[in-house]
Amino acid sequence: MPSTRDIRRRIKSVKNTAQITKAMQLVAAAKMKKAQDQASNGRAYAEMMNKVLVNLKEHAEEGVHPFFSEGKGDKTLVLLIASDKGLCGALNTNLFKKLVTSKIEGEVEYVTIGKKAVQAINRLRRTLLADFPIKDPAKFAEVRAIGRFIQEKFRTGDYKKVLVVFNNFINTVTVVPTIEQLLPVNPVTLGGKRDFAPEIETATVTTEYTFEPSAAVVFETVLPQYVNDTVYQMVLESRASEHSSRMVAMKNATDNAKQMIKDLSLEYNKLRQAAITNELLEITTAKMALE
Amino acid sequence: MPLKLEIVTPEARIYSDEVDTVVLPGYEGEMGVLPAHANLVTTLLPGELRITKDGKTTEMAIGEGLVEVTGTVTRILTDVALDADKIDEKAAEEAIERAKKTLAELKPGEHQEEVAAAMAAIQRATAHLHIKRKRRTV
């Protein structure tokens, strides 16, 4: 049975932990707000771009741009976007589980964002091509370097396709680990439900498009931008997911610590009461013995 | 038949409404779009966008981007879109100065991306100024 002093000590240490997790919760909450806004603001653009290009892919001639068709090689390039820091619940674990359970055919090479992603790839003994550190909040200029790297790799023709593994942000408590195909251009889901009307597509299916000045020029300007923008949006989704998960994890930790303090205090008071009763008993017995 | 116009930038969805006509700065010059326009895709140059709705014309400054025109919808994807009223003349002038300075510092041949970015900034800011000053003389 622990002494009252032991329990007091434990209460103190739990209180300290609660204070730290509470502070982390507040920091994560502030960052979460910003990251969520950033992610949801950029979503419309990235989605619209994706939709327009997927639509144009149907109408464009075969081989007008390398980003519209699979490369000749049979390797697959995977971009894995995880967080830099831990303490965000099962966020990264779920993401890596998704990666491991989804069987990607052929030889796979990896590009990573985030320290946790590098660690995971090393632990799984997979081929790591490059790791890009991204600050928080994510800057577009940093992401552009990744976009360029991916494009260069894909243009060599060694890779059949480029996949991205990232956390899709739905809302503060729901985050979905997702695998999407970045190249060749393919429909991509970002965030929750798509918020544009799908009825427009059907009207244009049979008709031809005119390209000014030419299809090749239009795609050559737009597609590199598309890759950069999409990767950036995916990073934003991952960041929003990370901060939300951390906020929720820290809130749970704080709540648990509070419950623990409550339980320990109860036990402490019981022990204290027992000690007092014991003492009173001893005094009365001693007094009775003297009489 | 109405023409639906949608303008989105990486920051936000700027415009989504039915309009009568829209005039935009395409790759091969200014281009007017009316309902039932032939399907067309072109890149945009930084410049001025004019939207006419119910006889009223609004102007916007837009950056580089892409436009997809179909008979019923015009979708504009651009990096910036600003209402003419919101343009800050002083900020635009400063932006031009800054970009010119960066251009002077960069060596030719190297830093192609930075040069392109600075050129785009000049083009964009000039477009802003142009719209602002034109409005004043009217």
B77-115 pLDDT tens trace: 888 887 777 777 778 888 888 888 888 877 666 666 777
Cis amide leading into A213 (omega within 30): yes
User: What's the rounded mean pLDDT across residues A21-30?
Assistant: 94
**CA atoms of B4 and B7, how far apart (whole Å):** 10
Q: Could you say which of 3.40.220.10, 3.30.160.250, 1.10.287.80, 1.10.1530.10 is the CATH number of the domain covering A4-21+248-290?
A: 1.10.287.80
Q: B42 CB near a chain A CB, below 8 Å?
A: yes
| Predicted local distance difference test score (pLDDT) of residue A197 | 44
A268-277 pLDDT tens trace: 999 999 999 9
ipTM score here?
A: 0.71
CB A242 within 8 A of CB A91: yes
Token output for B29:
């010059």
| Residue B20 DSSP one-character state | S
| Predicted local distance difference test score (pLDDT) of residue A199 | 41
Closest CB to B42: pick one of A55, A208, A211.
A211
**CA atoms of B76 and B6, how far apart (whole Å):** 6
Q: How many CA atoms lie within 13 A of A68 on its CB side?
A: 18
Q: Name the closest residue on chain B to residue A232, using Cα atoms.
A: B10
Task: Give B79 to chain A, closest Cα distance, Å.
Answer: 9
**CA atoms of B32 and B24, how far apart (whole Å):** 6
User: CA B89: distance to chain centroid?
Assistant: 16
Q: What is the CATH number of domain A38-246?
A: 3.40.1380.10
Global pTM reads 0.82
User: CA A280: distance to chain centroid?
Assistant: 60
Q: Where are the domains of chain B?
A: 3-84, 87-137
% of chain A surpassing 70 pLDDT = 94
B17-36 pLDDT tens trace: 889 999 998 888 888 898 88
Please report the residues numbered 218 through 247 in chain A whose beta carbons come closer than 8 angstroms to any beta carbon of chain B.
218, 221-222, 229, 232
Do the chains contact at A204 and B77, CB–CB below 8 Å? no
CB A128 within 8 A of CB A112: yes
Integer Rg of chain A from CA: 28
Report chain B's mean pLDDT, rounded to a whole number. Answer: 82
% of chain B surpassing 70 pLDDT = 91
One-letter-per-residue 3-state SS of chain A? CCCHHHHHHHHHHHHHHHHHHHHHHHHHHHHHHHHHHHHHHHHHHHHHHHHHHHHHHHHCCCCCCHHHCCCCCCEEEEEEECCCCCCECEHHHHHHHHHHHCCCCCCEEEEEECHHHHHHHHHCCCEEEEEECCCCCCCHHHHHHHHHHHHHHHHCCCEEEEEEEEEEEEECCEEEEEEEEEECCCCCCCCCCCCCCCHHHHHCCCCCCEEECCHHHHHHHHHHHHHHHHHHHHHHHHHHHHHHHHHHHHHHHHHHHHHHHHHHHHHHHHHHHHHHHHHHHHHHHHHHHHC
Angle, nearest 10°, between helix axes A91-101 and A215-290?
Answer: 130
Token output for A233:
């949006």
User: What's the rounded mean pLDDT across residues A237-256?
Assistant: 94
Query: Which residues in B lie closer than 8 A to residue A236 (C-beta atoms)?
Result: none
Query: Which residues in B lie closer than 8 A to residue A52 (C-beta atoms)?
Result: 66, 68, 75, 77
Listed in order, the ranges of chain A carrying CATH 1.10.287.80 are: 4-21+248-290
Return the closest-CA partner of residue A245 out of A134, A83, A114, A42: A83
Do the chains contact at A222 and B43, CB–CB below 8 Å? yes
Return the closest-CA partner of residue B125 out of B59, B77, B63: B63
Query: Which residues in A lie closer than 8 A to residue B73 (C-beta atoms)?
Result: 200
Query: Which residues in B lie closer than 8 A to residue A229 (C-beta atoms)?
Result: 10
Q: B34 CB near a chain A CB, below 8 Å?
A: no
Task: Give B137 to chain A, closest Cα distance, Å.
Answer: 33
A81-124 pLDDT tens trace: 999 988 888 999 999 999 999 878 788 999 999 999 999 999 98
Confidence of residue A201 (pLDDT cuts 50, 70, 90): very low
**CA atoms of B63 and B60, how far apart (whole Å):** 10
Q: B77 CB near a chain A CB, below 8 Å?
A: yes
pLDDT above 50 (res A200): no
**CA atoms of A217 and A67, how far apart (whole Å):** 13
Count of CB atoms within 10 A of residue A208's CB? Answer: 8
**CA atoms of A110 and A81, how far apart (whole Å):** 11
Token output for A174:
């729901």
Listed in order, the ranges of chain A carrying CATH 3.40.1380.10 are: 38-246
Q: A216 CB near a chain B CB, below 8 Å?
A: no
User: What's the rounded mean pLDDT across residues B5-13?
Assistant: 84
| Predicted local distance difference test score (pLDDT) of residue A41 | 85
pLDDT above 70 (res B136): no
Q: What is the CATH number of domain B3-84?
A: 2.60.15.10
Do the chains contact at A44 and B8, CB–CB below 8 Å? yes
